[in-house]
Amino acid sequence: MIVLDASVLIALGNANDVHHLRAREVLMACLDEHLLLHPLTKAEVLVGPVRRGSGELKERELLAMGVEEWAPIEGSGLRLAEIRVSTGLKMPDCCVLDAALATGSQLATFDEELAKAAAHFGLALQNRSWVEQQL
């Protein structure tokens, strides 16, 4: 299983994004994987399409890609607060990290701070080679 950060999906949807090609590579490498999104991450990914009137289309695209919305388990509020305090990450990144920790999943992100925190918690990074170049 791989938990996706919004940075990967946003880059995938924007050909002008500096990470667009890398996002395509990441997702091509994940074709046989179970892909998960935290609900807050999904909302972040959908903001732009909703502004343009294509939110439902984007949601269908995510489903067609096999991306599933992960349902946080009981106790997520406390876990998120603990992650926030221990890492200093913004709450959306804490949500991504919590989903990966709770499911024992790898993480895919282009966010350096999130990648550092994931490594600190011992999570495997799907796009490790890119992350190592940045750190």
Q: Kindly report the pTM of this predicted structure.
A: 0.89
Domain assignments of the chain as residue spans, ordered by start? 2-134
Query: Is 111 annotated among the ligand-binding residues?
Result: no
List all residues 6 or more positions away from 52 whose beta carbon is below 8 Å from its beta carbon. Answer: none
Query: Is 32 annotated among the ligand-binding residues?
Result: no
Angle at 89 between CA 19 and CA 129, to 5 degrees: 35
How many residues in the chain?
A: 135
126 pLDDT band, cuts 50/70/90, is confident
Q: What proportion of the chain, given as a percentage, has pLDDT over 90? A: 79
Contact 91, 84 (CB under 8 A): yes
pLDDT in tens, 33-87: 899 999 999 999 999 999 999 999 999 999 999 999 999 988 999 999 999 999 9
Superfamily of domain 2-134: 5'-nuclease (3.40.50.1010)
